[in-house]
Amino acid sequence: MVLHAPDMALRILIVGGGAAGASAAARARKWSQDAEIHMFEAGSMITHAPCGIPYYVGGIVGDPSMLKTYTPSEFSKGRNVNVHVGSRVTRVDLRSRELEVEEAGSTARYGWDRLILATGASPLIPRVEGVGLKGVFTVRLPDGARELRDGLSAAGTVAVIGGGYIGLEMADAARSLGKRVLLFEAMQRVLPTTVDQDVAEVVHEELRANGVELHLSEPLLRLEGRGSVERVITEKGSYPVDAVVLAVGVRPDSALAESVGLRIGETGAVYVNEYMETSEPDVYAAGDLAETTHMVTGKRTWVPLAPPANKMGQVAGANSVSPRSLKFPGVVGTAVTKVFSYYVGRTGLSDEQARGEGIDFESKLIKTRSAAEYYAKYETIYVKLTVERKGGRIIGGQIVSRDKIAAGYLDLMAELVGRGATLDDVFFSDLSYSPATAPVWHPVITAARVLSHGRL
Amino acid sequence: MVLHAPDMALRILIVGGGAAGASAAARARKWSQDAEIHMFEAGSMITHAPCGIPYYVGGIVGDPSMLKTYTPSEFSKGRNVNVHVGSRVTRVDLRSRELEVEEAGSTARYGWDRLILATGASPLIPRVEGVGLKGVFTVRLPDGARELRDGLSAAGTVAVIGGGYIGLEMADAARSLGKRVLLFEAMQRVLPTTVDQDVAEVVHEELRANGVELHLSEPLLRLEGRGSVERVITEKGSYPVDAVVLAVGVRPDSALAESVGLRIGETGAVYVNEYMETSEPDVYAAGDLAETTHMVTGKRTWVPLAPPANKMGQVAGANSVSPRSLKFPGVVGTAVTKVFSYYVGRTGLSDEQARGEGIDFESKLIKTRSAAEYYAKYETIYVKLTVERKGGRIIGGQIVSRDKIAAGYLDLMAELVGRGATLDDVFFSDLSYSPATAPVWHPVITAARVLSHGRL
């Protein structure tokens, strides 16, 4: 057992300085003046925001160094946390409760009373030939963003592999750089695991209208080139390209957790309960590394996004100081992005997911507008609600519009889904109206009315 | 007793063809194929949208005839409802269950099985000298909108009396017409009964930045002029003007209801229960005429706005066919408007209202932004949450921003207030995030965190 500081303050070690790790550190400090807190980050930045990388590439963010909330020294001073950057945790010893850390050219050992793992997730690399060629990129950390931007800037034609959120954002960014852009998606629509076909089709139109060459139902076979990537090969063709962005998904960075036999959940991420406790006493996991509960299905789910990561980190940090004091209730799978001029988002279950769960549901996509009928300035809003046929509980919502208010309505739907609201609840929600902001029948209420079959 | 149609179909008479009356008619028809439905409207338009008048004056709506959803004949054909326009109901006879109606130059009598009163509200006229002068206007019905616009167009200087929603919208409209605009408000802030001082001050700045001469704490003493209005006289001065818009509030048009002794509630509007039943059997009231329940205080309240009017009408219409089949649960007092480039809205109780209710509350106005910290394109968002000190139940929300997403967040807050959510509920709501749409800590969650005193 490593000795504690003389006052025997609680020693909390946190592996990972991203959203979850830094939130855990900040919360642990807030809840305890005395704890000795160490945060280990393999890269050079903490509180980094990988979600911002496409916007740096596209030119909306000036420099990758902006893609963080705090510098290590700001965080360290402001919160009295020992921030170790460039520190790789190479071994976890559960018996001695020690971490082995490679930092500053040597190996150090740190003992813990509480360990919080927040090692995040990293891009999946498709198991095909050519992914190691020069000019093939993933979107991972701000550390690598400049190289990504330089690589795409030098290209004439860019292929994006994968039509998920990051793929769409990178296609948009590459168009902002003036590149010819080919987007390859193995499934028959973009955002295939999160939105339904009817919603995706609005996005398809927008992508095409902005010059993205959309290749749906076209799985990648391999990348070809001599040294640098030169061609994307799919089942349907061979496409000359100068750069490739791989955006086919992410996987939890669970090597460290697995190395000591922490329970891995059915989702493939690290199992935690609502207190963010892993299968080992005093070892917590949080953020993209950890799975959680889906509040609609009650089943385990894995949603590697920044907002749940921050909250999980916060819960782990609080509980590391004061065990079982805060519960993370789970997620409903809310996500949003901007694709060219469209905002597209979803919460709860899509129709496809509801079908997969064997739920007896119905749904409707309605088309309405973002202002009163007579108000000249408006955008079209598409809203989809998915409800249980019996009882009318809202189990999912999808939205797409050029009006940013769509993202606000998405939050409303997330809240409705999260609390298990019914169509009647939605109808009688006292939602806002003014001619400049909404139709007099609110878009989400209109969707509920249509699904009420004349009752409302 | 007046004879029914030979098949003895239920006869439903509706007085008023605005939001509530038309919603009642439409719903009654939806729930009954057989009912004989008559709707009486004193003006020439039905399903009219008085909320759109400022936008017609300001030029965003091309013609006042657009300020409606249906023409009388569209509504009549589409819904098989007898629409009587230009029909003034002059007498209600509760004993014989008959209405006396002046229409087409003669007087007719109609018997009812169910009567729905939806006579709406009309502008309050201040009891001061000069309000009858030429050039003095109110904002009432689309029928009078052209006269209003012409009157303001001909003026050089326009005074708006009253800084409520309509006053602000009219000040904006008059500036769009290029007029010098003086706005007089008796209280020390605009929107005095709905938002707090801190929120109002953001609006004050915007008004002044757009050239509105703001006169706060300056009650109107009288209007002066020979034939036409020439001067606004307040306690502080005398102001030469060419036109005046009176926008000091509205009152329920309850003359007919009062003439037959229907119970008037403590708010001054017609008393109804949750089924929209008045104190008389088979007589319903709905819309701006009727009061309802405030879902935070449980007390009676009067909120003359289109969305509750539509819903009340729908509930009255449903219950007129199938008694007590639908309940109107009440409102939380959600309202929003656009003032120049700002969206400003509120729901639940303001601090001032909470204080008036004797609630032990606390509140915080936070200033955040409408995109990630590093994202170059954003607007400032001000969010205020008001919560019960014990238990942290959200009892009110206010928001102001140039980003229209504020109106969507207002809906989210309305829903949170309506369901009695606590700070913890808000924190763990799975709200959306992308760098282009929100900070990673959602504005409403940030407000909740600040109020949690370090817990969240």
> What is the tens place of the pLDDT at every residue in B101-139?
999 999 999 999 999 999 999 999 999 999 999 999 999
C-alpha distances out from residue A362 to A262, A295, A413, B65, Å: 40, 19, 16, 38
User: Rounded to 5 degrees, what angle do the CA atoms B208, A377, B205 make?
Assistant: 10
Q: What is the mean pLDDT of residues A46-69?
A: 96
Q: State the CATH class of domain A125-248.
A: alpha beta
ipTM over the 0.90 cut-off: yes
C-beta neighbour count of B121 within 10 angstroms: 22
**Is the pLDDT score of A372 beyond 50?**
yes
In 3D space, the residue among A393, A437, A448, A429 whose CA is nearest the CA of residue B414 turns out to be A429
Do the Cβ atoms of A430 and B295 come within 8 Å? yes
Q: Tell me the chain A residues in contact with residue B411 when contact means C-beta distances shorter than 8 Å.
A: 408-409, 412, 429, 431-432, 442, 444
Q: Whose structure tokens read 């939130």?
A: A23
Q: What is the model's pLDDT at position B109?
A: 98
> What is the pLDDT averaged over residues B262-279?
98
- Pick from B62, B407, B437: CB nearest A338: B437
Over 60: is that where the pLDDT of B273 sits? Answer: yes
What amino acid is encoded at B263 in this protein?
A: R
Q: Which CATH architecture has domain A341-451?
A: 2-Layer Sandwich (3.30)
CB-CB neighbours of A19 under 10 Å? 31
Instruction: Give the gap in angstroms from C-alpha A224 to the nearest C-alpha of chain B.
Output: 34
Residue in B408, B409, B430 nearest the CB of A418:
B430
**Closest partner CB to A437 (pick from B66, B404, B427):** B404
Q: Phi, psi (5° rounding) for residue B197?
A: -55, -45
State whether A433 and B306 contact (CB < 8 Å).
yes
Q: Is the pLDDT of residue A405 over 60?
A: yes
For position B5, what pLDDT does the model report? 46
Q: Which DSSP letter does residue B270 get?
A: B
Q: Summarize the confidence of residues A31-51 as an average pLDDT.
A: 96
pLDDT, tens digit, 9 for 90 and up, residues B282-334: 999 999 999 999 999 999 999 999 999 999 999 999 999 999 999 999 999 99
- pLDDT score recorded for residue B115: 98
Contacts 24+ apart (CB under 8 A), B266-272: B266/B291, B266/B300, B267/B291, B267/B300, B267/B301, B267/B302, B268/B302, B269/B302, B269/B304, B270/B117, B271/B300, B272/B312
Which tokens sit at A117?
A: 């793992």
Same fold? B11-122+251-321, B341-451: no
**What pLDDT band is residue B7 in, cutting at 50, 70 and 90?**
low
pLDDT number for residue B8: 76
Q: Could you confirm whether A51 is annotated as catalytic?
A: yes
Q: Residue A408: CB partners within 8 Å, gap ≥ 6?
A: B405, B406, B407, B408, B409, B410, B411, B412
Looking at CATH, the fold of the domain delimited by B125-246 is given as FAD/NAD(P)-binding domain (3.50.50)
Cβ neighbours of residue A73 under 8 Å, at least 6 residues apart? A83
Task: Give the end-to-end CA distance of chain A in Å, rounded to a whole number.
Answer: 66
For B169, half-sphere exposure in the C-beta direction (CA atoms, 13 angstrom radius) is: 25
Say whether pLDDT at B4 is over 90. no
Instruction: Judge whether residue B6 has pLDDT over 50.
Output: no
Query: Which residue of B437, B444, B456 is in closest CB contact with A336?
Result: B437
Other beta carbons within 10 Å of B37 = 27
Q: What is the pLDDT of residues A303-332, one digit of tens each?
A: 999 999 999 999 999 999 999 999 999 999
Distance from CA of B76 to the nearest CA of A (A): 19
For the domain made up of A11-50+66-121+251-321, give the CATH fold.
FAD/NAD(P)-binding domain (3.50.50)
Chain A contact probe: residue of B301, B410, B431, B445 with most A CBs at under 10 A? B431
Q: Is the Cβ pair B407, A69 closer than 8 Å?
A: no
Report the pLDDT value the prediction gives residue B422, as an integer from 0 to 100. Answer: 98
The token pair that represents B364 in the structure block: 């915080």
Assess contact for A10 and A35: CB atoms under 8 A. yes
Joined tokens for residue A160: 């994006």
pLDDT digits (tens, 9 = 90+) for B370-393: 999 999 999 999 999 999 999 999
B51, B94, B336, B366: the catalytic one is B51
* Identity of residue B197: Q
Asked if the Cβ–Cβ distance from A374 to B19 is below 8 Å, we say no
Q: In A72-164, which residue ranges form alpha helices assigned H by DSSP?
A: 72-79, 145-153
pLDDT digits (tens, 9 = 90+) for B166-205: 999 999 999 999 999 999 999 999 999 999 999 999 999 9
* Angle between the N-to-C axes of helices A306-321 and A19-31, in degrees from 0 to 180, rounded to the nearest 10: 30
Domain positions in chain A are 11-50+66-121+251-321, 125-248, 341-451
> What residues 315-344 of chain A have any CB closer than 8 A to a CB of chain B?
328-329, 331-338, 343
**B2 pLDDT band (50/70/90 cuts)?**
very low
CA distance B2 to B4: 6
Q: How many other C-beta atoms can be found within 10 angstroms of the C-beta atom of residue A347?
A: 32
CA distance B142 to B46: 10
| HEC string for A43-97 | CCCCCECHHHHHHHHHCCCCCHHHCECCCHHHHHHHHCCEEEECCEEEEEECCCC
CA B38 vs CA A434, B44, B77, B258: distances in Å: 29, 15, 13, 22
Q: Which residue of A has its CA nearest to B53?
A: A435
Mean pLDDT of B342-355: 98
E strand or H helix that includes residue A204 = helix A197-209
Q: Hey, what CATH class is B11-122+251-321 in?
A: alpha beta
Give pairs for A319-323: CB < 8 Å, separation 24+.
A319/A275, A319/A276, A319/A277, A319/A284, A320/A10, A320/A12, A320/A24, A320/A28, A320/A114, A320/A116, A320/A284, A321/A10, A321/A12, A321/A27, A321/A28, A321/A31, A321/A32, A321/A35, A321/A114, A322/A31, A322/A32, A323/A275
Distance separating alpha carbons of residues A30 and B454, to the nearest angstrom: 7
**Pairing, β A380-388 against β A361-369:** antiparallel
